[in-house]
Chain A
Amino acid sequence: MLNKLIRFIDATNQSISSMVSWLLALMVLTMFCIVVLRYGFNIGSIAVQESITYMHGLVFMLAIAHTLRINGHVRVDILYQRWGKKGQAIVNLLGSLFLLLPVCAFIVYISWDYVSSSWSYYEGSREAGGLEGVFLLKSLIPLMAFLLFLQGLSEAMKSICTLSEKQ
């Protein structure tokens, strides 16, 4: 049961992360096209320019959770690296419970009104001809926190498993 939940969370965040990494490749290409069109042909489009912001936001906000799983977030590892598997599991368990989960819950809570007021009038771009999805872009904030919350649960459960293993 627990294992199933861990696997489900990990797989979800992994597939989101690999989806957005293709988006990153698309972003590189789009940005290059913008440059070519602007400097070569003097053509510019606010909507295309803004799509860069959307892709960029999607990429880094939604990949944060998976980056946690593969241990891609920097740590100060002067002591951490010497603490052995169990010691590290304790750090990760305590960190998940007392730092990560509260922070994620708090971000969802504090951004709720901010995002829902944006949804209430389907907030669009400030620029004429821009993309009309600012409310979606703002929704990335609680969504990021939600996905990270799930990943934090998964990591906490994994730490418990490590700790309960026999020597």
Chain B
Amino acid sequence: MDGSIALWMFGAVFIVLLMGYPVAISLAGTALVFAFAGDYLGTFDSAFLEALPNRLFGIIENDTLVAVPLFVFMGVMLEKSNVAESLLENMSKLFGTLSGGLGFSVVLVGMLMAASTGIVGATVVTMGLLSLPTMLKRQYDPALACGTICASGTLGQIIPPSIVLVLLGDVISSAYQQAQLDMGIFSPETVSVGDLFAGALIPGIVLVILYLIYLAGIAFFKPSACPALPVEETDNSLYLNLIMGLLPPLILIIAVLGSIIGGIATPTEAASVGAMGATFLAFLKKQFSLQQLKVVAQDTTQVTSMVFFILIGASLFSLVFRGFGGDELIEELLSDLPGGVFGAMLVVMLVMFLLGFVLDFIEITFVVVPIVAPILLAMGISPVWLGIMIALNLQTSFLTPPFGFALFYLRGVAPASIKTSQIYRGVLPFILIQLFLLTLLAIWPDLATWLPTIIYGN
């Protein structure tokens, strides 16, 4: 069978996707058209499609993925009960009197909120609405303000417990099994979502520190770009407010993350505790009502069905892709590259970076990762390192003009007085920081793999 039809299918789906019909159906529909045409022309064995019902049932039965609606519930609940708003308000009161302080608060709140929602769009929009007007009013350089908000908003990809890491963990874990079986290892090692969370922790924190160093540098060398707020009379109630605002979400995140990384609870169990904790928090803040619960549950249901529908569409797509011999073709292409593992990894990263302009994280995780990950893992790459590299790479892609998702989201909520070119200029230094960390991680995979090894042994 000629695998090149599979590549034509990839091209075709790309064009269909650009038309703007929902991604899940575009994937499934295009694949189906190719399957029928191939069956008619005798280049495709329709027996491949018989596996579909079992695949779909596998999605329903998958225990790891139950964590997704629970984490989404937790995030939506925190968002609707305005935890981020009061956090940002109190923090900027604390840091605001320093030059660059407002930027610091945005990064830190972005980190905390990202850890609890993990949805890029939501974080960028929230932060854009909350902090951009304040920063502009305080004479922040608009480019700097926009860059800081976009970058902080994308932290949700990499900082656990991000939802995409749950999805990525599930996909990489089955790819890892497959790679080892292909190599003739019949008692394969496993990799879990917990491994990926642990692996993401150090790179995520390093990233936040690098952001903060950059802001501190600006504050030192060019204080006019990020002036301090005028000193208001601070009383003790500020510190009390800050602690009261900061502690509950912090405890929640540490409890959820700690129990997963510590191996005490599965991600699903920890997520349910997080979801109940967020509800309790809303209750304490007097933001909880039956009406509110209904809204949160409905939003969560929609996000969940959106995510899983992509998974359904992608599983039909990858079945047909395999049926045309696409996976063998990709394997040949990747193993024939000069530079061996390094070359293969570099090409995969570049392709994903470009795909990140059009597709978002979930789609790339479900469509591209299952195709390339088994091949890369069979070359001996560590699964945790691969996962974190993918996450960091896509995060960079979402920041990169002109197509980065984060930029669109911010453009959507930024006032018209902000020029798009200012947003682009503002994110540039952050993209350089991302690339720096990506290089660092490529040179020292230990940055990602050290912590999981310490915690889980082997």
Q: How far is the CB of B319 from chain A (nearest CB, A)?
A: 11
Please state if A95 and B69 are interface contacts (CB–CB under 8 Å): no
Q: How far is the CA of A107 from the CA of B362 in the complex (A)?
A: 22
Please name all residues of chain A whose beta carbon is closer than 8 Å to the beta carbon of B363 when the two chains form the complex: 74
Say yes or no: is A161 at the interface (Cβ < 8 Å to chain B): no
The 10 A-B residue pairs with the shortest CB-CB distance, nearest first, are: A80-B20, A99-B29, A95-B21, A31-B272, A73-B22, A114-B53, A63-B305, A21-B301, A111-B53, A57-B60
Say yes or no: is B316 at the interface (Cβ < 8 Å to chain A): yes
Please state if A63 and B360 are interface contacts (CB–CB under 8 Å): no
Say yes or no: is B189 at the interface (Cβ < 8 Å to chain A): no
Say yes or no: is A20 at the interface (Cβ < 8 Å to chain B): yes
Which of B37-45, B91-99, B155-163, B306-314 lies at the binding interface?
Answer: B306-314
Please state if B54 and A32 are interface contacts (CB–CB under 8 Å): no
Please state if B301 and A77 are interface contacts (CB–CB under 8 Å): no
Please name all residues of chain B whose beta carbon is closer than 8 Å to the beta carbon of A98 when the two chains form the complex: 29, 33
Please state if A102 and B32 are interface contacts (CB–CB under 8 Å): yes
Chain A, Cβ-Cβ closest to B26 = A99
Say yes or no: is B302 at the interface (Cβ < 8 Å to chain A): yes
Supply 15 A–B pairs (Cβ within 8 Å), ascending by A: A25-B297, A31-B66, A31-B268, A59-B69, A60-B69, A60-B304, A63-B301, A63-B302, A67-B302, A73-B25, A74-B22, A75-B22, A76-B23, A91-B20, A138-B53
Q: How far is the CB of A21 from chain B (nearest CB, A)?
A: 4
Please state if B306 and A110 are interface contacts (CB–CB under 8 Å): no
Say yes or no: is B186 at the interface (Cβ < 8 Å to chain A): no
A-B contacts besides A34-B269, A83-B20, A94-B19, 7 pairs, CB < 8 Å: A17-B302, A32-B273, A59-B301, A70-B302, A81-B20, A95-B25, A99-B16
Please state if A53 and B22 are interface contacts (CB–CB under 8 Å): no
Q: Mark B176-203, 1 if CB is under 8 A from A, else 0.
A: 0000000000000000000000000000
Q: How far is the CA of A53 from the CA of B279 in the complex (A)?
A: 22
Which of B18, B25, B33, B294 has the most chain A CB atoms inside 10 A of its CB?
B25
- Of A74, A78, A107, A137, the contact of B18 (CB 8 Å cutoff): A78
Please state if A79 and B301 are interface contacts (CB–CB under 8 Å): no
Considering only residues 358-399 of chain B, those with a C-beta below 8 Å from chain A are 358-360, 362-363
Chain A, Cβ-Cβ closest to B279 = A28
Say yes or no: is B78 at the interface (Cβ < 8 Å to chain A): no
Say yes or no: is A158 at the interface (Cβ < 8 Å to chain B): no
Q: How far is the CB of A73 from chain B (nearest CB, A)?
A: 4
Q: How far is the CA of A73 from the CA of B29 in the complex (A)?
A: 15
Which of B23, B49, B309 has the most chain A CB atoms inside 10 A of its CB?
B309
Chain A, Cβ-Cβ closest to B269 = A35
Please state if A76 and B18 are interface contacts (CB–CB under 8 Å): yes
Q: How far is the CB of A56 from chain B (nearest CB, A)?
A: 5
Q: Mark A65-101, 1 if CB is under 8 A from B, else 0.
A: 0111010111111111101000010011011001110
Q: How far is the CB of B362 from chain A (nearest CB, A)?
A: 8
Say yes or no: is B7 at the interface (Cβ < 8 Å to chain A): no
Q: How far is the CA of A70 from the CA of B22 in the complex (A)?
A: 12
Which of B20, B26, B310 has the most chain A CB atoms inside 10 A of its CB?
B20
- Of A28, A68, A83, A106, the contact of B276 (CB 8 Å cutoff): A28
- Of B29, B50, B66, B293, the contact of A102 (CB 8 Å cutoff): B29
Q: How far is the CA of A29 from the CA of B29 in the complex (A)?
A: 37
Please name all residues of chain A whose beta carbon is closer than 8 Å to the beta carbon of B53 when the two chains form the complex: 110-111, 114-115, 138, 141
Chain A residues touching B, range? 35 or more
Please name all residues of chain A whose beta carbon is closer than 8 Å to the beta carbon of B265 when the two chains form the complex: 35, 39
Please name all residues of chain B whose beta carbon is closer than 8 Å to the beta carbon of A31 when the two chains form the complex: 66, 70, 268-269, 271-272, 275
Q: Which residues of chain B have a CB within 8 Å of any CB of chain A? A: 16-26, 28-30, 32-33, 49-50, 52-54, 56-57, 60-61, 63, 66, 69-70, 73, 264-265, 268-269, 271-273, 275-276, 279, 293-294, 297-298, 300-310, 313, 316, 358-360, 362-363, 403
Q: How far is the CA of A123 from the CA of B430 in the complex (A)?
A: 55
Q: Mark A95-138, 1 if CB is under 8 A from B, else 0.
A: 10011101100110011001100000000000000000000011
Please state if B21 and A92 are interface contacts (CB–CB under 8 Å): yes
Known contacts A22-B297, A60-B304; is-contact A77 B20 (Cβ 8 Å):
yes
Q: How far is the CA of A103 from the CA of B30 in the complex (A)?
A: 9
Chain A, Cβ-Cβ closest to B56 = A141
Please state if B22 and A137 are interface contacts (CB–CB under 8 Å): no
Chain B, Cβ-Cβ closest to A114 = B53
Q: How far is the CB of B53 from chain A (nearest CB, A)?
A: 4
Please name all residues of chain A whose beta carbon is closer than 8 Å to the beta carbon of B362 when the two chains form the complex: 74
Known contacts A60-B69, A110-B50; is-contact A103 B29 (Cβ 8 Å):
yes
Chain B, Cβ-Cβ closest to A141 = B56
Q: How far is the CA of A111 from the CA of B59 in the complex (A)?
A: 14
Please state if A99 and B25 are interface contacts (CB–CB under 8 Å): yes
Q: How far is the CB of A149 from chain B (nearest CB, A)?
A: 11
Say yes or no: is A61 at the interface (Cβ < 8 Å to chain B): yes
Say yes or no: is A64 at the interface (Cβ < 8 Å to chain B): yes
Q: How far is the CA of A66 from the CA of B301 in the complex (A)?
A: 10
Say yes or no: is A3 at the interface (Cβ < 8 Å to chain B): no
Known contacts A31-B70, A78-B358, A141-B56; is-contact A73 B301 (Cβ 8 Å):
no
Please state if A76 and B306 are interface contacts (CB–CB under 8 Å): no
Please name all residues of chain A whose beta carbon is closer than 8 Å to the beta carbon of B50 when the two chains form the complex: 110
Q: How far is the CA of A14 from the CA of B61 in the complex (A)?
A: 25
Please state if B60 and A24 are interface contacts (CB–CB under 8 Å): no
- Of A34, A79, A107, the contact of B20 (CB 8 Å cutoff): A79
Say yes or no: is A52 at the interface (Cβ < 8 Å to chain B): yes
Chain A, Cβ-Cβ closest to B300 = A24
Please state if B403 and A25 are interface contacts (CB–CB under 8 Å): no
Please state if B20 and A110 are interface contacts (CB–CB under 8 Å): no
Say yes or no: is A27 at the interface (Cβ < 8 Å to chain B): yes
Say yes or no: is A18 at the interface (Cβ < 8 Å to chain B): yes
